[in-house]
Structure 1
Amino acid sequence: MGMTMTQKIFAKHCGRESVAAGELVNARLDLVMGSDVTTPIAIQEMEKHHLNSVFNPEKIVLVMDHFAPNKDIQAAKNCALVRKFAQKMGIRNFYDGGHMGIEHALLPEQGFVAPGELIIGADSHTCTYGALGAFSTGIGSTDMAAGMYAGKNWFKVPSAIRVNLTGKFRPFVSGKDVILHLIGLIGVDGARYQSIEFSGDALPFVSIDDRFTVCNMAIEAGAKNGIFPVDEVTKEYLSGRVSRDYEPVYADEDAEYSRVVEIELSKLEPLVAAPHLPSNVNAAANYAGLHIDQVVIGCCTNGHISDLRQAAQILRGKHVASHVRCIIIPATPQIYLQAMQEGLLECFVRAGATVSMPTCGPCNGGHVGVLADGERCVSTTNRNFVGRMGTKDSEIYLASPAVAAASALSGVIAIPSEV
């Protein structure tokens, strides 16, 4: 029996010819990532077990992004602890202050991810990096501690779902609509501990930013990881970012999948995931006219330059509704600078939006846009759980940058029209 992309990556990192779904394996790691929220716990675990070294300081990346710039005293203490640990262990890949970006956009941008690699991160949306043909998955802080020390972790090899993408996007439909459609179709546990592997003749028309968005939310279907095959789109993004040798993997023709899902891109329309699950998906048109108080465009799911361009296309020359707070969050300093050079930031400010520094901010109720009682937000982030962005009776409607921008102008959930 042939292997899937994910199984091939595991086989390589275990030094074996093949692995099968359900096997427990101890695999070599190419990279370990942690944030200001998860790394302090990993440090405590290392100290508790007297682990005074890391396997390779060049293969650890620490990003202060969740509650940074420090939102309160505890956040400051957490960052200080991680900063001290990085200095002690010789970890140079420490991102803070003006160098800090949102980890899941920053790591690919800075060349830390290459095809065929195996990466863990103490954050559930680490599965983002599968857009580049890598296996990446979120783990807990204890596993992060073990990974930093030993350079290995144990895994159960996942079975896989194949998602076949065909056709081309219609205007103002994007990768966010692909993943919302998929989650709505199979549910938040429809891919539990499975790999979601994307294929199909539509891939040349799916941008790298859309692939990041799709893989970012694979976890919202319960998946262990999401992964795209390496093609010209991937290679173009990697050019100038990754200079080391890498080995792309491709699924065998006789690879076994638990199911195959067909998605015709031209049949998709702008979608919304209503409270309080990412699987509560319907056409955005079904919610048109629903009053909103806030819009968030950005973060790790949709804070890439193409996302900001799409939002600017809709907002340019217009003004956000007077009762709406519109917050734009570029995912990295590089994206921020590019948006500045292209005039996107000026467009946002003139439209009455607030442009934030790169940070996770409101996505997990941290800062820069926490919701009050009864408030409703259209957000390009990845989760709309109860209390995720503020009080327990606030509401989050997940959507694409296009729907979010159109809604910011209207003051109600709105469908973008071609400009």
Structure 2
Amino acid sequence: MGKTIAEKILSNHAGQDLKAGDFAVCNIDFCFGQDGTSGIIVDRFRALGIKEAFDRGKFAIVIDHSAPSPNMGVSAVHKKLRDFSREKGLLLYDVGCGVCHQVIPENGHVLPGDLVLGADSHTCTYGALGALSTGVGSTDLAISLACGKNWFKVPQSIKIVVHGKLGRGVYSKDLILHIIGDLKADGATYQSVEFYGSCIDALSMDARFTICNMGVEMGAKFSVIPADKKTLAWLSGRNKMRKPSPRYADKDAVYSLVKEYDASRIGPQLAKPHAVDNNAVVEELVGTHIDEAYLGTCTNGRLEDLEIAAGMLRGRRVSKNVRFIVAPASRNIYLQAMKKGLIGILVQAGASVVTPGCGPCVGTHNGVPSVGEVVVSTANRNFKGRMGNPESFIYLGSPATVVASAIEGCIADPRAYLK
């Protein structure tokens, strides 16, 4: 019987032949925490009585969720993390470096075939590189920091095949919102989702990160796009210490579910408050008043997303009734966007560009909405309180939909602003 990608990678990291349903202890290639979770990692690591990390080069702390610090309490946590990193000689990506799910792959810490753990639920993002990656709790992460291992139950796998081409004004975010709306928030609980098809093959790496980032929003343990030439080209030069070891599913691999979609039949999508699977097409919501528009996050704060936004805003302005907040996903992306003139276009159009990080998405600072206010966002979650106020309303959409809505002051169809 053939194996899925998850069965192959976990077997390789356990040193034994595994199939779905088996339990095993596996070696970890990389692990990390962010400032919202790493304080507990530090405490649990010290409680174990371990003096040194299993490998100083295979763990990092990324200060991104409240960066720069919005208050004294957070500042104390940040100092604790900096002190721990210096004491143990560990990697630290400090304020301004960017969102962990951009910074980690951007700096070459993940390769095809790797097994990665992060103390953050959207660690599944790195499946875009053909890796198995998943979020765990801080205590589990502390264990991995101490010994370089963790336990896994080998998941069953779902195969998703997307045929055809995305239409004008339709992006990877629309595609994954459509799929989540179809499968629902628990449709892939503790399963590994593999993405295939001509549409997936045609996606840029930025777009593939968007797809895999939101796998957890349908309950997936892992979400994976098999590595191809695009993947290897994106990785070229990022890690000179190791070679990629991509794994591919066998033709006779067994899946719990196979779903097929026609990309050409999908239009701009939105997730309505207060659930990611509360799906709607843009035509249903056109004209809905908004107070804030947000472009950024680990889902859609990459260079391609900023290019889409700048292209739509060139020669236009954001509505005077809308606060338009932009957060590049990393310092590197910020710099690239500056060199291309994108930041100037966004600022001239009325955008407020903030430090690369997660602040507005998780509601720590840089754009917390008021009671009753409505936000349209490129983020991955729209639960009550997600952006810091449980009495606000969040719609999720693509960068193009967010920008069109910012221009009009209400939810708008992006196709009207695209050539």
TM-score interval w.r.t. the shorter chain?
over 0.9
CA distance in 2, matches of 1:158, 1:72: 41
Q: Which residue of 2 aligns with 1:370?
A: 368
What is the one-letter code of the residue matched to 1:309?
A: E
**1:88-99 matches, cutoff 5 A:** 88-91=87-90, 93-98=91-96
1:10-65 deviation line (CA, Å, top 9, x unaligned)? 0000012x211111110000001100111110111122232222100110011000
Deviation at residue 142 of structure 1 after TM alignment: 0.3
2:288 pairs, out of 285, 290, 293, with: 290
- SS for the counterpart of 1:78 is helix
Match of 1:125 in 2: 122
Q: 1:55-111 deviations in whole A, cap 9, x for unaligned?
A: 0011001100001111111111111111111111111x211134x210001111111
Runs of at least 5 residues in structure 1 that lack an aligned partner in the other structure: none
1:134 counterpart = 2:118: no
Task: Look up the SS of the partner of 1:354 in the other structure.
Answer: strand
Correspondence 1:116 to 2:116: no
Residue type at the aligned position of 1:398: L
1:7-406 superposed matches below 5 A: 7-16=7-16, 18-91=17-90, 93-98=91-96, 100-243=97-240, 244-406=242-404
Q: Which amino acid aligns with 1:359?
A: G
Alignment deviations for residues 274-322 of structure 1 (CA, whole Å, 9 cap, x no partner): 0000000110111000000000001110001001101111111101001
Q: 1:201 Cα shift?
A: 2.4
* Pair 351,255 (structure 1): closer, same or farther in 2 beyond 3 Å: same
Query: Quick one: distance in 2 between partners of 1:191 and 1:377?
Result: 28
Partner Cα separation in structure 2 for residue 117 and residue 255 of structure 1? 20
- 4+ residue runs over 4 A deviation: none
Structure 2: 5+ residue runs without aligned partners? Answer: none
Moved more, 201-210 or 244-253: 201-210
| Count of residue correspondences | 416
Judge conservation of contact 1:68–1:75 (CA < 8 Å) in 2.
Answer: no
Match of 1:46, SS state, is helix
1:408 pairs with 390, 403, 406, which one? 406
Q: Over aligned residues, Cα RMSD in angstroms?
A: 0.9
8 Å contact kept, 1:168–1:265: yes
For residues 154 and 374 of structure 1, the distance between their equivalents in structure 2, rounded to whole angstroms, comes to 44
Conserved in 2, the CA contact under 8 Å of 1:66 and 1:361? yes
Distance between the aligned counterparts of 2:208 and 2:191, measured in 1?
18
The SS at the match of 1:374 is coil
Moved more, 104-113 or 114-123: 104-113
CA distance in 1, matches of 2:52, 2:238: 29
Letter paired with 1:328: V
Which residue does 2:3 correspond to in 1? 3
Instruction: Report the more deviating stretch, 46-55 or 311-320.
Output: 46-55
Task: Tell me how far 1:268 sits from its aligned partner.
Answer: 1.1
Letter in 2 for 1:317: G
| Cα distance in 2 for residues equivalent to 1:236 and 1:165 | 23
> Residue 6 of structure 1: CA displacement?
1.2
TM-score by length of 1: 0.98
8 Å Cα contact 2:172-2:210 kept in structure 1: yes
Residue 30 of structure 2 aligns to which amino acid in structure 1? L
Measure the CA separation in 2 of the matches of 1:375 and 1:234: 40
**Local SS of the residue matching 1:182:** helix
- Cα distance between partner residues in 2 of 1:157 and 1:391: 37
Question: Which amino acid in structure 1 is aligned with residue 2 of structure 2?
Answer: G
Q: Report which stretch shifted further, 116-125 or 160-169.
A: 160-169
| Structure 2 contact 67–355 (Cα < 8 Å) conserved | no
Structure 2 counterpart of 1:96, one-letter code = D
Bigger drift between 168-177 and 331-340 goes to: 168-177
1:401 is displaced (CA, Å) by 0.0
Distance 2:161 2:393 in 1: 32
Tell me, in whole angstroms, the C-alpha distance in 2 between the residues paired with 1:5 and 1:74: 42
Q: Give identity over the alignment, percent.
A: 46
CA distance in 1, matches of 2:290, 2:25: 48
* Separation of aligned partners in 2, 1:83 and 1:236: 34
Rounded to whole Å, the distance in 2 between the matches of 1:382 and 1:415 is 20
SS in 1 for 2:32: strand
Write the distance in 1 (CA, Å) between the matches of 2:201 and 2:384.
37
Q: For each residue in 1:189-223, what CA deviation from the matched residue of structure 2 results, as whole angstroms up to 9, or x when unmatched? A: 00000001011122331111111001101000000
Deviation at 1:226, TM superposition (A): 0.4
